Chain A
Amino acid sequence: MPENLLLYQTEIIKAILETFMMVGASVLAAIIVGLPVGTLLYSTQKGRLAENRYIYIVVSLIVNSIRSFPFLLLVVFLIPFTRLLLGTAIGTTAAMVPLAIIAIAHYSRLVEQSLLDVPRGVIEAAKSMGASVSDIIVKFLFVEARSGLVLGLTTSTISFISYSTIMGVVGGGGIGDFAIRYGYQQFKTDLMMYMIIIMIILVQSIQIIGTTIAQKIDKR
């Protein structure tokens, strides 16, 4: 094993754990908040389940605005908010706040897209069976869109890994931060390469898992 890897073993493991924590928080936020927000974007659209122009415009504007920020700027911009929320804007936990916010905005658009792919006929059949709006969403839309929702989450998760790499600016740590501080700033190019390899393995694994699950649950 190359000596630099052994030498920095503890730091590397710590960095990997930090990345996992930050990405994990993003994924959770995406599922818990992003999925409902995406569903809201879908249902309030013209001609859909609960058409409401005003809600759609407002939610859509917020989501677009969040996504317009270069992520680095969003992190800096949110520092006062993070401090208000957690008492500090520095550290891995604090880094989760901007990550969660971008995660929600990112995934909600993908949710909206997947739901739009469900044929209108299925919804019409659901209505004819006396399904309420919430029945239609949970028992019909999510069932039919499930592989798209999983693939969307996979794409999102990979983006979250990328976003997490810049969290060094607020002391969030993580693999990206380690690669910059040791690999780039201390000229240990080999360490940087190792970090890139770890990232590649991570992204590959997530994509393979996501694709496999999506295929398994897709009976269309």
Chain B
Amino acid sequence: MIELHNVSKKYEQFTAIDHVTISIQSGEIFGLIGPSGAGKSTLLRLINLLEIPDSGTVNVDGQILTQLSQTALYKARKSIGMIFQHFNLLANKTVYDNINISLKLANYPKEQRRERVEECLRFVALENMRDSYPRQLSGGQKQRVAIARALANKPRILLCDEPTSSLDPTTTAEILAVLQSINNTLGVTIVIVSHEMNVIKSICERVCVLADGQVYETVGIVPKGVKSINRHPQTFVDELQRGEQSDA
């Protein structure tokens, strides 16, 4: 359970988050949506204290993060995974080492690391890419490596900052399906920030609409499910022609 109580965050004159209180249940997929500048990403970063609130408290699974010492905070972050719009992988490390690094940081028992990395790679279906470098991967594959890295340490929470915003629709569906299955099979709580309504609608159970750093409304919805997208080139042709007709 994640509880933000009355949190605020200011950057010089600009108030990014203004007295926000939200609570996210364990095991749910929670969406944060709103126009750019609404404070979605800042709010997400307040959950693992990548941004430190000026006031208010952050409570994750009973632990009040805002009261922790620096070392205790490092430790707490290890059980909160995070993925990003631009993946943020280490370009100079292989896929395997990118995942392994989070295990190393968490002091995961050395003899079990290899097995755990392989397990995570299987989960995101990238076993055959273990020795590749990020440069050699497509955007979707990079995001799956990032997901594997975030999962390696068996977190109970996964924070997703615009995870599909630099991906095409087909790859977006693929990533959403992975997130969905993480939630289903591993019971990981997922908080997802996106400006894409389709993304939010397809997997979220509750959505918080933000505006000007405040909660506008929180709505419960029935997720539409991830639609697999037809890759056939004819679909592009059809769509282009359809556009032409409606323009005419």
- The chain A residues found within 8 Å of chain B, CB to CB, are 119, 121-122, 124-125, 127-132, 135, 139-140, 143-144, 146, 217-220
Contact = CB atoms under 8 A, between A and B. Distances in A.
| Chain B facing A: main interface SS | mixed
A121 B86 contact: yes
Given A129-B105, A130-B78, A219 B92 contact: yes
A143 B48 contact: no
Interface string B14-52: 000000000000000000000000000000000010100
Given A219-B133, A219-B135, A220-B135, A131 B88 contact: no
A139 B87 CA distance: 17
Give 4 closest A-B pairs by Cβ, nearest first: A125-B88, A130-B77, A128-B82, A121-B88
A128 B80 contact: yes
Given A131-B74, A219-B135, A220-B135, A143 B92 contact: yes
B74 A130 contact: yes
Most chain B beta carbons < 10 A, residue from A127, A139, A140, A146: A127
Interface string B153-175: 10000010000000000000000
A220 B77 contact: no
B106 interface: yes
Interface of B: 48, 50, 70-71, 73-78, 80-82, 84, 86-93, 101-102, 104-106, 133-135, 146, 149, 153, 159
| Chain A facing B: main interface SS | helix
Given A135-B105, A219-B133, A129 B77 contact: yes
A135 B90 CA distance: 14
A139 B82 contact: no
A181 B161 CA distance: 66
Nearest to B76: A130
Given A121-B88, A143-B93, 18 more contacts: A119-B88, A121-B86, A125-B82, A125-B88, A127-B50, A128-B80, A129-B101, A129-B105, A131-B74, A143-B90, A144-B90, A144-B91, A144-B92, A146-B92, A218-B92, A219-B91, A219-B93, A219-B135
